[in-house]
Amino acid sequence: MQTARRGTGALVVFLMLLPAAAVSADGRGARAEVVTFGAALAPALMRVAAGASVEIADWPVAPGEREDLLVTRFDVYAPEARLWKVEGDLQTEVPRSRLAFFRGAVLGDPETRIFLGVDPDTGTFQGLALSPAGSFVLRPYPRAAQGRGHLVTVPEDSEAAEGTAAPPLSWTCGASDAEPLLADQPEEPRTRPLFEAVIGSLHTVTVAVDTDNELLLLKFSNNTTSATNYLAALFAALNVIYERDLNIRLLQGTTFLRVSTTADPYTVTGSPADMNHLNEFANYWSANYGAVTRGLAMMLSGKTATVTNSSGIARRNGLCSTTQGYSFTQVFLASFATAADDAAVVGHELGHNFGSPHTHDPNGYIPPIDTCAATLNSALFNCVTQCGAQCEVLAIDGALACNSCPAATTINGVANVRGTLMSYCHVLTGCAKSKVFHPRTVDLITGILTPKIGVCVFPAIPPPSVSGLSPNTGTTAGGTSVAINGANFQNGATVSLGGTSLAVTFNSSSRLTVTAPAHTTGPVGVVVTNPDGGNVTKANAYFYTPPPAVTDFYTLTPCRVFDTRNANGPTGGPIFAANAERNFTVIGSCGVPANAVAIMTNVTIINPTVSGYLSVDP
């Protein structure tokens, strides 16, 4: 059975309300904007399945700028990841974050990369836009719009919008003073175009996470739900950088959340992060967590001296090593600091684990990529010799620095880049660093990554999908052989039909066969789970027909057959134009059996742009 619709009603992809108020404290024009999203947006995005894509109209990519997006929902967790609340010797597993994450780009402008997260409990959003115009963050701003406001701003203005007198966010890295414990990978001469050196397809690396008492107490008030949401958002923001530049997806692995009600095993105090912090963390994990599956392990600490300072240290070339693959980061504790802010610091330290030194290091890059040096280790970098009279002493930590900011350039679609992710250019007055790897850094890391494919670097496997069941009906007695059609099935996949686990015959990556169990009358869903943990649920996929009865009228659980606000497809967009006609297949959807001869439906028209009519015909 099919129904057709025609008319002039405009069905938009999503509803968004964007009354805005510009905020500027420096006279340079609006650097921040308050936006408010329509109530329908968050629930609509939560309905998008993992791996599915959707268009969003008029997204605020920067203050005062709106663009249409194409984004894809993704998961940040490794299949085997488990999250533990740690109270002394007691470990309690806690749920994964319920946040939904999307990555993508502006339609027609792939150089403007987008990350956004949706909180289903509060209906709030967080996000990051990396474009030729710069980096912009999106975060909840409850001071506006009766608590429903969001702020779009450049990261350094986030605290100004709060009306605080806090200094700007700043950070340091101690990796220049850390002896690389594995042999450095020599940089090869560049003979290839920019970014041709990156590995050819998307791969994954699992990063295990540990925390200390100070982080859980000072940043999350020991609320593990807040902590898991933050960590998920952090990995999502990291992958905007790592996927774009390295073709690497960082997956959150096994995680330990050490609440402050009992002492953690980490006794080294002080700030900034140094080798004592790093060695304590590495030694504890080497001794206690050798069996935890990971490519790297990182510590996120709350031991920073002030809430607007962050610091980190990492061992270089530690990828795939359970003795060397460690980083230690004291993250920002300021209330206005987001996961996107910490992504720059954590991403920098992980870059050391992946094999890159600082870009000013003449031992790692010959010649150095830049001269934005800042190190107390004169043996590593002789600022006076390299920069001469330009050398200055920085008040931030007493370190020597070359006052030489690189000229602005465009790297991998990111415009106005002076310093790159592995640089120290942000410490120079009037200079900055961008969330992008330098092409020479990409070459260096790719040479380290490639031989580790199959060790702790693995090809990304898309989640399974289900297109339909054949047949999609059977008797309540069970016994019907059912083919599950779809994509990305793996040998060893499990199937649940109506809540009952079934024996599965693996026919191919696009077909599984099961035998339907007995069940009461009505529609049921099917769940397919691959051995790697990827899974898909298709609701109302199979209908159990009742025994013969006097009446042949059956009530189904209300279900949406199609919604043109969703992504283009058989049950989604595009929206209707004048005199447009669409055909929608109803049989097989929402539990409608193949032998149905009539159905009762509701049709809803949303935001028609002009008057007209809409006809629905079977």
CATH number at residue 121: 3.40.390.10
Digit-coded pLDDT (tens) for 177-220: 334 433 344 444 443 344 445 688 899 999 999 999 999 999 99
Q: What is the CATH number of the domain that holds 472?
A: 2.60.40.10
Segment among 274-278, 404-408, 438-442 with least mean pLDDT:
404-408
The whole-angstrom separation of Cα 413 and Cα 418 is 14
DSSP code at position 454: T
Residues 165 and 264 grouped into a single domain:
yes
User: Could you give the number of structural domains in the chain?
Assistant: 3
The residue out of 337, 353, 369 marking a domain boundary is 353
Same domain, 36 and 110: yes
Burial of 525 (0-12, 13-18, 19+ CB in 10 A): middle
- Buried/exposed code over 342-357 (b: 16+ C-beta within 10 A; e: otherwise): bbbbbbbbbbbbbbbb
Q: CA-based diameter of the chain, in Å?
A: 98
Q: Are residues 276 and 406 in the same domain?
A: no
Model-level pTM? 0.72
pLDDT at 614: 76
CA 511 to chain centre: 30
To which H or E segment does residue 299 belong? Answer: strand 296-301
Could you tell me which residues are beta bridge partners of residue 32? Answer: 23, 153
Number of residues in the chain: 618
Both 291 and 389 in one domain: the answer is: no
For 395: left if phi > 0, alpha if psi spans -120 to 50, otherwise beta; the answer is alpha
Whether residue 425 is found in the same domain as residue 472: no
Please give the pLDDT value at position 155: 66
Show which of 419, 436, 453 is a domain's final residue: 436
Query: Which of the four pLDDT bands, split at 50, 70 and 90, describes residue 338?
Result: confident
| Rounded CA separation 47/308 (Å) | 37
Task: Give residue-wise pLDDT tens across range 447-480.
Answer: 999 999 999 999 988 888 888 999 999 999 999 9
Each residue's pLDDT tens digit, 384-408: 455 544 455 444 444 445 657 888 8
Distance, CA of 596 to CA of 1 (rounded, Å): 8
- The pLDDT of residue 329 is above 90: yes
Q: Are residues 294 and 146 in the same domain?
A: yes
* DSSP-based three-state secondary structure for 617: strand
Tell me which residue range forms the domain holding 286.
31-178+204-353
Do 71 and 212 lie in a common domain?
yes
In this structure, the answer to whether residues 127 and 254 fall within a common structural domain is yes
Question: Tell me: the pLDDT tens digits for 305-321?
Answer: 899 889 999 999 999 99
Going by pLDDT thresholds of 50, 70 and 90, the confidence category of residue 170 is low
Do residues 489 and 421 share a domain? no
Q: Is 281 in the same domain as 332?
A: yes
Same domain, 362 and 232: no
Q: What is the spatial distance between Cα 203 and Cα 211, in angstroms, rounded to a whole number?
A: 26
